[in-house]
Amino acid sequence: MAVGREEVEVVKPRSDKREYRRIVLENALEVLLISDPDTDKCAASMDVGVGAFCNPEGLDGLAHFLEHMLFYASEKYPVEDSYSKFIAEHGGRTNAFTSSRHTNYHFDVNVDSFEEALDRFAQFFIKPLMSPDATMREIKAVHSEYQKNLLLDSRRMNQLQKHISEESHPYHKFSTGNWDTLEIRPRAKGLDIRNELIKFYKENYSANLMHLVVYSKENLDEIHSLVEDKFQEIRNTDKSSSRFPGVPCSSKHLQILVKAVPIKQGHKLRVIWPVTPEIQHYKGGPCGYLGHLIGHQGEGSLFYVLKTLGWAMSLFAGEGESYWEFAFFTVEIDLTDAGHEHVQDIVGLLFKYIILLRQSGVCKWIFDELSALCETKFHYQDKIPPIQYVVNVASNMEIYPPEDWIVGSSLPCEFNPGTIQVVLDKLSPDNVRIFWESKSFEGSTDMVEPWYGTAYSINRISASTIQEWISSSPDVNLHLPAPNVFIPTDLSLKISEEKINLPVLLRKSSYSTLWFKPDTAFSNPKAYIKIDFSCPHASNSSETVLLADLFMGLLMDYLNEFAYYARVAGLYYNVHHTNTGFQVTVVGYNHKLRILLEKIIKKIATFEVRPERFAVIKEVVTKDYQNMKFQQPYQQAEYYCSLILRDDTRPWTEQLEVLPAIKGEDLTNFLPLMLSRTFLEFYIAGNIERGEAESIVQHIENTLFHGSQPICQPLYPSQHLTNRVVELGTGLSHFYCTEGLNPSDENSALVHYIQVHRDDIVMNIKLQLFALIAKQAAFHQLRSVEQLGYITMLKQRNDYGIHGLQFIIQSTVKGPGAIDLRVEEFLKMFESKLSQMTNEDFKSNVNALINMKLEKHKNLREECAFYWKEISDGTLKFDRRETEVEALRQLTQQELLDFFNDYVKVGAARKKTLSVRVYGSLHTSEYTTDKNQPVQPSLIQIEDILSFRRSQPLYGSFKGACGRVKL
């Protein structure tokens, strides 16, 4: 055989029934084949060992630009965008990303279309076409992506860290690219960017630098043959793998304190050390060990102390950016206002904890505990969608030996105190870089980062200065964590005698309902519990909404030091605010899940407001509300759309207005009222028995509703809350115009929403099929051809069972009013395409949608999310997918055309539209013009959202009174 095959036993989870084979093609392309007879989707990922570090001097962003260009067309498939169109119309997704060292391309698709999809994918790396026209258009797309990220603090601070490094090192480079680096500067030098692109591709994209993962339903021999057929033509130039010797930070980039001005409110501290990369000792996990201890949040930890002092809101520690030659260990702390005033003390305490670790020595029991946790996590990991799996594995292939391609560094098993000590020794005052972000530095900086415009200044800090900070920091009781009592020891599976394939209503009372579904699909020792607290008093004013918000924040805060151990051991919990009260979710290994759940419920039942923590959480909530104005314009447009449509939403500006006057005693007085009338809706699923589920519900009812002084009473029938949606007027177009909340943001955005129907199986499948057919066409026309903006999407919208379509576009090129017209032009153009669609294409799209619907849930969380949506909306169509598949099999092409003509096409008699337009700073003049356009009978301008909402009819709710659900 023309293909090399080395027998390698790949380390895989014990429960993994998939088969693996490593092969090397004649052109030196290294491939991992994965056979999964149970899969509903096939997938592939090609990882090319060429990234932003390889950009030629003066052509920043070229590798990223090339990634964009390969999607357009190839010599074998010359029709532009035909690859993405094929994938979308056969139930799949496709994407790519460029990192410093790699570029990764990936897709998934329905099983019956995999061979052709793989052939189209392979052409990226054989003979792509990079037409001059497409080249110029895609530079604009790269620039639009850059503009989208300009005001994102994460991007700005990451680039600032790169900027303050050796200019000769590739780490210093600007990786994304923009119009300046890909058009203006090359043209000024007399360079043709397309020629440079082709040259870069030919010089760097060599088969010996590529790693491919192919995931299919077929057996290994069949996949083997398929891969050999599709990928053997990729050129191999025997190019050497790029190496980047040296370190990015010399002595002048160490022992520095950088003060930077972020976009958002808040203060953040990043303490960073260059260290030996963990990949060089991945089985010993030195950074994982140290990150576990420095980032711990239990009693005696650095975070526990900072939190007790009122100085910190969150803390992360671990290896951040990592490469083969160098890496950075990072401690990132979100500071309170008080913490911002005590940064020297905080840095001192951090180094005190590091000194404690040195004095304690490397502890074998801690390593063993971590190793056992990692082993359990690896062997009982949830199955994830194939597209995610192939990306993860392909990204590992250049880094690890073949036997560890799947496990990577997730199984530290070799206790080596020496390698941990080497990294620990690097965490020293003379090796540190401190980045301190705060709006309070505005006006006091003297430098500007060139790519994102971040204002900053640099101060030198000596090791002796940090020693002074250590000496003057508070005298506190820092100590190592205690052994973790939440580590599961019973991982047995509970075998259910009755096969319950859909959720059943096990129990109903005036206090609660219990929906139950045992695990019949995943054979994993995990459970999922969600409790919805319906509390009418939690949402009857902006003030009560805000108080409920503060309660959730405090509750999570109080639970943290206890529940952090559970999180480390694979038990996750969340408490979050809803429009009708709040929800508690606990998911993970079932063995000790009930201990955590009962602790949460007890905390709710015995809740007291601690004034010092209330002040901190109020500060956190205040900043969250203040920072909402810095959301991306398209996110603002989606928010206004929900505010217009959903009767249960309130403007966040009202909460921000109320917030300053709220005091701790207000929350103390509010809590008994909020909980006084409560209804609980439970969903319990996974490795758990019926009797145990009922026992959990009974215990919680006893805690909250019974006893000598119950804190809750059942709801009156009139108090059961429903979520209702505005019914837009038939044949009418509504629009709402507003200026963007951040005057510095040049981007504008449009949400063009078409409301269609109240949940109905036949109408659902017509809408879904149209969206499947139109999605890629809309992206290609509005983004690739017209280049309106990087964020361009067509997707379905479902508000509590009210279905529709929405176009979402963010742009600096055109204002929202002009984009609205382009959306309508697209629909006019697509009308002819839809009417001319062949019967064969129609059936192909129907089959693609059927295959998507028959796709099995991958894991317990995914399954629970699907069924909980039915419960929370009140639709209760647990067999929805099977019923919709049956309806799809009966659907005719004419029925789809009639649907389009009735509800979607421009001027359709039954069409209902809402355009939400957010105007960025480049389009303020258009905002004035569009707001003052002449009124037309079928065009309704929404001047005041709440007045409009109150004046409109509402769709009936599926939820109804819980008492009406039949047992």
Active site (catalytic) residues: 67, 138
Tell me the three-class secondary structure of 549-611, residue by residue: HHHHHHHHHHHHHHHHHHHHCCEEEEEEEECCEEEEEEEEECCCHHHHHHHHHHHHHCCCCCH
> What are the C-alpha distances in Å from 813 to residues 72, 221, 320, 818?
22, 51, 36, 10
Pairing of strands 210-216, 30-35: parallel
Question: Do 173 and 159 meet the contact criterion of CB atoms below 8 Å apart?
Answer: no
Tell me the residue type at 276.
T
Tell the burial category of 922 from Cβ atoms under 10 Å away from its Cβ (0-12, 13-18, 19+): middle
Q: In the 8-state DSSP scheme, what is residue 942?
A: -
Q: Which two tokens stand for residue 855?
A: 């796709």
How much of the chain is helix, strand and coil, in % rounded to 5? 45, 20, 35
CB 609 within 8 A of CB 723: no
Q: Taken in order 436, 439, 442, 448, is the CA torsion positive or negative?
A: positive
* 684 vs 690: CA distance, rounded Å: 9
Report the C-alpha gap between 965 and 872 in whole angstroms: 13
Q: How many CB atoms lie within 10 A of CB 197?
A: 21
In contact, 384 and 524? CB cutoff 8 Å: no
Which of the 8 DSSP states describes residue 183? I
Hey, what are 951's tokens?
Answer: 């004046």
Q: What whole-number distance in Å separates Cα of residue 295 and Cα of residue 286?
A: 14
Beta bridge partners of 682: 514, 531
Give φ, ψ of 83 to 5 degrees: -65, -55
Helices (H), 316-462: 337-340, 343-360, 364-379, 386-396, 417-426
Which secondary-structure segment (H or E) carries 762? helix 761-779
Asked if residues 953 and 727 have their Cβ atoms less than 8 Å apart, the reply is yes
Q: Which of 275, 250, 410 is nearest to 329 (CA)?
A: 275
CB-based contact 787:144 (threshold 8 Å): yes
Q: What does DSSP say about strands 256-260 and 93-98: parallel, antiparallel, or unpaired?
A: unpaired
Reference 80, options 780, 775, 771, 789; nearest CA is 780
Q: Are 634 and 642 in contact (CB under 8 A)?
A: no
State the chain's maximal CA–CA distance in angstroms: 85
Provide CB contacts within 8 A for 869, sequence distance 6+.
none
Report the DSSP pairing between strands 433-438 and 256-260.
parallel
How far is 747 from 740, CA to CA, in rounded Å? 8
What is the full DSSP assignment across 803-814? EEEEEEEEESSS
Cα dihedral 54, 56, 61, 63, rounded to 10, equals -50
> In the beta sheet, which residues pair with residue 572?
587
Conformational region of residue 361, where left means phi above 0, alpha means psi within -120 to 50, and beta covers everything else: left
